[in-house]
Amino acid sequence: MRLHRLAVTAFGPFGATQEIDFDELSAAGLFLLHGRTGAGKTSVLDAVCYALYGQVPGARQGSGLSLRSDHAEPLTPTEVVLEFTVGERRLEITRRPEQPRPKKRGTGMTREKAQTLLREYVPPTSSAGAGAGAGKRKALSRSHQEIGEEIAQLLGMSREQFCQVVLLPQGDFARFLRADELARGKLLGKLFDTGRFAAVEERLAEGRRAAEKRVAAGDERLLALAHRMAQAAGRTTEPDGHPLPEPTPGEPGLADAVLEWAAIARAGARERQDIALSAVRAAEAAHDGAQRTAEATRERAELQRRHAEARRRADGLERRRPDHDRLRELLERARAADAVVPALDLRTAAARDHHTAETTEHQARTRLSAEPGLAAMTLEPTPDIPDQRTPPDRATSPATSQPAQGPGSPEEATASAGQAAPEASRGGVASGPTGALGAPYGARDRRAESRGVGGAVVLAEADAEWLGQVERRVREELGALGAARRGEVRAEAVVREIAALEREARADDEAVEEAAEWLAGWEETHRAHQRRVEAAQEAVTRAEQLGGRIEPAERRLEAARRRDRLAGQEGQAREELLRAREGAAAARQNWLDLKEARLRGIAAELAAGLRAGEPCAVCGATEHPAPARPGAGHVDRTAEEAALADYQRAEEVREEAERARNALREARAGAEATAEGEDAAELDRALAELRTAYAGARSAAADAHAAREALDRAEGEHTRRTEQRQEAERRAAARTSHREALARERAALLADLEQARGADATVARRAARLERQAGLLARAAEGARAADAAANRLKEADARLADAAYRAGFETPEQAADAVLHPDRQREARRRLDAWQSESAAVAAELSDPRVLAAAQAPPADPVAAQTVADAATRALREVSAADAAARTRCEELDALSAQAVADARRLAPLRAEHDRIARLAALAAGTSADNERRMRLEAYVLAARLEQVAAAASVRLRHMSSGRYTLVHSDARSGGRGRSGLGLHVVDAWTGSERDTATLSGGETFSASLALALGLADVVTDEAGGVRLDTLFIDEGFGSLDEQTLDEVMDVLDSLRERDRTVGIVSHVADLRRRIPAQLEVVKGRQGSAVRHRMAAAH
């Protein structure tokens, strides 16, 4: 890989764009990159690494914000462009990290995403014309991931490998040279990517652990089965001297021990099952005998109880025999009286109907007598209508010679009738005035028919026919009043219509007068409403225009005020930034001065650490004849570090002040653009005037809706009043003719009604009176006819009752009535007689049972004692049966668990074999196996081979740089009694012939060995990466510890690299190198950022 061109913009210390032409530097083959401390020499190398991998080396790795230069302008983006050739392809890669930039609209900052572009230079084809140009660049990708994969594939190494091979950090290789095997292995593992061998070790270890877990799990399952078998066997195996084995899971022989113990447990369980079965058979025989004895005893006790109970029942029947005879006699009389019951029921119903009919008739005649218009009415008898209701032989009865005396009111008549009502039921009959079963047959004769002097009949005492005749006369008169009643109703309606017409006429006159008055001022009112609406609409338009101008004016005023405020703050920030820059520059200069002073007196500082007999860290000598002494104004490390800390704090203050100044400057520019350059006071006055005009326009516009509604209401009211006046005039014309017709109709109706109502106030009242009188006459005639019919039915019922009682064997109807029993009582009596008969038959049958008689003659039985004996036998059988069932269950469980244990042991055998095989491989790869004599891990073994190659390649250059004295060799000796071997690194001294540790080298020797090691490692890593040729190398620092002769030897080695068409860049502060190397790249720092200068000095 060869670098051609590097361009950095706003990157690290470089505020502006800086370009480095590596082709120009490559012409000399060797160039020097130098500059003052902090100028940015290492940042050049960081830019190369960032362009290729998107990251900077090692500890300098950070976010995109840390890569951006603080010296850059806000609108200048951070960018790195690298042009290089690899694999005969010339590529150009451009990277921009994620970084802040000013917003394109508004104020403030926004974050711009990271960008990457990879392009390839395509040379012109031979067939192209002369004007085809010098080729073109073709874009390959803009994807971060794709570009990263493409670069890694082309270079064949990772970022860590690139930083170790191309950017040779001498300090790292010096530490590598003196490091222990563990640290050396970590670095080599990163460079040669031996993680796959470590992964193999881990995979084997994981396989071993997994196999151990599977075997342990299988053993744990076997032990769990053994514990379950122990629980199933109970305490049968412990007394036999065979306790449960307790091995640890994973131990050999565990499965055999468990299976052997299971066989012993099964044998003991089967023996105890046989013993339990014999005990069950003996207990079953004893239980059967006890159950039979208890059953016989319970049966004899039950028969004895039945005999005693039968004797008790027989004695009770004899005590109740008199009651049984009386009940039987009563039932026989009731059965004879059942033939009289229909006649009794008929007579009771007839008496009840007769009493009801007389009561109804009396009430009707009482109301008839109370009617004023009918009380004194009499009717002359006619030849064809009987004038008396009673037969001729009853006419001379004392009852008929007296006038009928009724109660004074209908209520009193009803009450007296209710007191005389007879009571009847199936068990007896009511008593009347003539005896127990007599009836008031002469009740109809108590009303004598009274006549007047001239033979007239009193209407209240008349019979049904006379009452019917009077009713017909009244109804004929009522029918004649129908037309007069309709005329009277019509006359009242006419009066109401005339009154309504008068009211309507007065209302219409008032409405016409009101409408005329309102319509007189309509024109002026309408014009006023229209003027109000037009003024409000103009105010609405004006308010909208003014309202749209207020918000922009407010924004300009606020921006102008913010601009003035930020201008003062920016001035203060500018002053603070100037002070911070001056302070940071002073602190930096102080730190550099102290550092330079310390470097001048570094010999005294190193001499302070010398001890007699110990080698010098610089030359390696054990004798120190004239160690340097600190001079006046000596600066130690503490003072330099304090100055550096002061400088770093001052730099932080400067950065913070610069960020604050930039933020205020951007904010002020945004406010200035928004305010459009106008003065804040002028903007405030214009906004106040605009708000005042807007408020006035809004106040006037608020009346627009109300004005429109008022106009609409006024127009609607004008239409309504006009129609109202026209309608009232039309109604007045029609009302006049209608009122005259009604007046004529009313006069004719009043003349007809005067004649029809007679002595009553109105025709309706006369009709109502006649209707009421007709109803009273009709009810009185119906009551009289019903009373005569009820009297005849009662007389017939009395005759039938007397005949039925005689035929049933009773002397009087009263005796028959007394003997009648209700059907429910008869059924109860028959039930009691049947129960007595059934009980007697059952008792006799029980006492005649031979088994009962035999049990009564036997001794008393004791079933409780017999049951106690049977229960004891049952308990004994249950206990031995439970023991037998437990023994069978125990055997079954042991058989099942043993079979499962055998199956698990068979499955576990191949797992244990696999575990043994994997465990041997894992121990061998981890270096813990006895077969691994050097106790080397697999990864260490691979790295040892790589280290041998590195040592061989480094020794070629180290022998040249040390004039053939030193050779680097790899050592696989173990570091201690129990330590591991594989990554030791020694140096062979040809002058003494001894092999010693690299830590014994002096400072200059260490640098030479480190440089040789770095170059050798670069060659090996390059070959490992696929042979990609590295045409550009950088060596960072370390030359200050070399004497002049050694420096010449090192330069010869570097010149040999140049002879192989390589470009080597040396990064150093050593002044002697500036005289030795003509091609130089100087990094110069300044207040506006660092800059890069190409120089071609004369070589010495």
- Dump pLDDT digits (tens) for 29-60: 788 888 888 888 888 888 998 898 888 876 55
| CB of 440 closer than 8 Å to CB of 432 | yes
> In this predicted model, what pLDDT tens digit does every residue of 1037-1067 receive, in sequence order?
556 556 666 667 677 767 666 655 677 888 8
Residues 807-828 as b or e (16 or more Cβ within 10 Å = b): ebebeebbebbebbbeeeebee
User: What does the pLDDT read at residue 1049?
Assistant: 67
Supply the DSSP symbol for 981: -
Q: 771: which residues sit within 8 A by CB, 6+ positions away?
A: 478
Average of per-residue pLDDT across 975-985: 59
Mean pLDDT of 898-910: 82
Q: How far apart are CA 802 and CA 992, in angstroms?
A: 175
Do the beta carbons of residue 915 and residue 212 sit within 8 Å? yes
Return the C-alpha torsion angle 173, 178, 181, 182, nearest 10: -70
Structure tokens at 1079: 């091609």
pLDDT greater than 80 at residue 234: no
Which residues, including other chains, have CB under 8 Å from residue 129's CB and lie 6 or more apart?
Answer: none
CA angle 263, 264, 267 (to 5 degrees): 90
Report how far residue 409's alpha carbon sits from residue 550's, in angstroms, rounded to the nearest whole number. Answer: 102
* Dihedral-angle region of residue 579 (phi above 0 means left; psi in -120 to 50 means alpha; beta otherwise): alpha
* Residues 50 and 95 sit within 8 Å (Cβ to Cβ): yes
Identify the CA nearest to 1067 among candidates 33, 26, 31: 33
Dump pLDDT digits (tens) for 932-952: 766 777 777 777 777 788 888
* Contacts (Cβ under 8 Å, ≥6 apart) of 99: 64, 65, 67, 68, 77, 78, 111, 112
Residue 994: pLDDT above 70? Answer: yes
Q: Report pLDDT for 7.
A: 94
Q: Which residue has the tokens 């390649």?
A: 953
**Contact present, 457 and 379 (Cβ < 8 Å):** yes
Q: What is the DSSP string of 62-73?
A: --HHHHB-TTS-
The pLDDT confidence band at residue 430, using thresholds 50, 70 and 90, is very low
DSSP state of 630: -
> How many angstroms separate the CA atoms of 940 and 979, rounded?
13
pLDDT of residue 381: 47
Model confidence pLDDT, tens digit, residues 509-531? 888 888 787 888 888 888 888 88
Strand pairing report for 30-35 and 1079-1084 = parallel
Query: Closest Cα partner for 50 from 95, 18, 5?
Result: 95
For the chain, the helix, strand and coil percentages under 3-state DSSP, each to the nearest 5: 65, 10, 25
Find the angle CA(97)-CA(101)-CA(107) to the nearest 5 degrees: 160
pLDDT of residue 82: 93
- The first and second tokens of residue 552, run together, are 């922009």
Provide DSSP, 956-968.
Answer: HHHHHHTTT-EEE
**Taken in order 223, 225, 228, 229, is the CA torsion positive or negative?**
negative
pLDDT per residue over 606-631, tens digit each?
777 777 777 776 666 667 777 777 76
HSE, CB side, 13 Å, CA atoms: give it for residue 276.
20
Residue 756: in which H helix or E strand, if any? helix 704-756
User: pLDDT at position 662, please?
Assistant: 87
Task: Please report which helix (H) or strand (E) contains residue 192, including its range.
Answer: helix 181-192
Say if residues 361 and 776 touch (Cβ distance below 8 Å).
no
d(CA 385, CA 469): 10
Question: Over 789-842, what HEC string results?
Answer: HHHHHHHHHHHHHHHHHHHCCCCCHHHHHHHCCCHHHHHHHHHHHHHHHHHHHH
DSSP three-state, residue 168: strand
The closest of 68, 48, 294, 265 to 901, measured between CA atoms, is 265
> How does the average pLDDT of the chain come out, rounded?
76
* The predicted structure's pLDDT at residue 91: 92
Beta bridge partner(s), residue 1080: 32, 1095
End-to-end CA distance of the chain, in Å? 31
Task: Report the greatest alpha carbon distance in the chain.
Answer: 196
Query: Per-residue pLDDT for 916 more than 50?
Result: yes
Task: In whole angstroms, give the CA distance from residue 553 to residue 544.
Answer: 15
* Residues with Cβ within 8 Å of residue 253, at least 6 apart in sequence: 247
Mean pLDDT of all residues in 180-209 = 74
4-15: pLDDT as tens digits: 899 999 998 898
Q: Is the per-residue pLDDT at 743 higher than 60?
A: yes
What average pLDDT score do residues 765-787 get?
A: 80
To 10 degrees, the CA torsion angle through 934, 935, 940, 943?
Answer: 10
Residues 61/66/72/74 CA torsion (nearest 10 deg)? 130
* Type of residue at 852: V
The predicted pLDDT at position 321 comes to: 82
Structure tokens of 539?
């105010």
- pLDDT at residue 521, rounded to an integer: 82
CB 124 within 8 A of CB 135: yes
Please, are residues 512 and 725 in contact by the beta-carbon 8 Å criterion?
yes
Q: Which residues pair with 435 in a beta bridge?
A: 432
- The encoded tokens of residue 171 equal 């300090």
d(CA 475, CA 769): 11
Residue 18, H or E segment: strand 18-21
pLDDT at 971 over 90: no
Whole-angstrom distance, CA of residue 577 vs CA of residue 571: 10
1067, 39 contact by CB (below 8 A): no
Count of CB atoms situated within 10 Å of the CB of 1048: 12
Segment among 685-699, 792-806, 835-849, 1010-1024 with least mean pLDDT? 1010-1024
DSSP string covering 508-519 = HHHHHHHHHHHH
- Residue 1012: is it exposed, middle or buried by C-beta count within 10 angstroms (0-12/13-18/19+)? buried
1062-1084 pLDDT tens trace? 778 888 777 777 777 888 888 89
Question: According to the model, what pLDDT value does residue 482 have?
Answer: 73
Query: Is it the case that residue 338 has pLDDT exceeding 60?
Result: yes
Q: Give pLDDT, residue 470.
A: 81
**What DSSP element (H or E) covers 89?**
strand 89-96
* pLDDT above 90: residue 79: yes
Place of tokens 């990879």: 118
Residue-level pLDDT at 592: 84
**At residue 41, what are phi and psi to the nearest 5 degrees?**
-60, -50
More confident residue, 689 or 461: 689
Cα-trace Rg, the chain: 71
Strand 457-458 relative to strand 18-21: parallel, antiparallel, unpaired?
A: unpaired
Q: Which two tokens stand for residue 278?
A: 């014999």
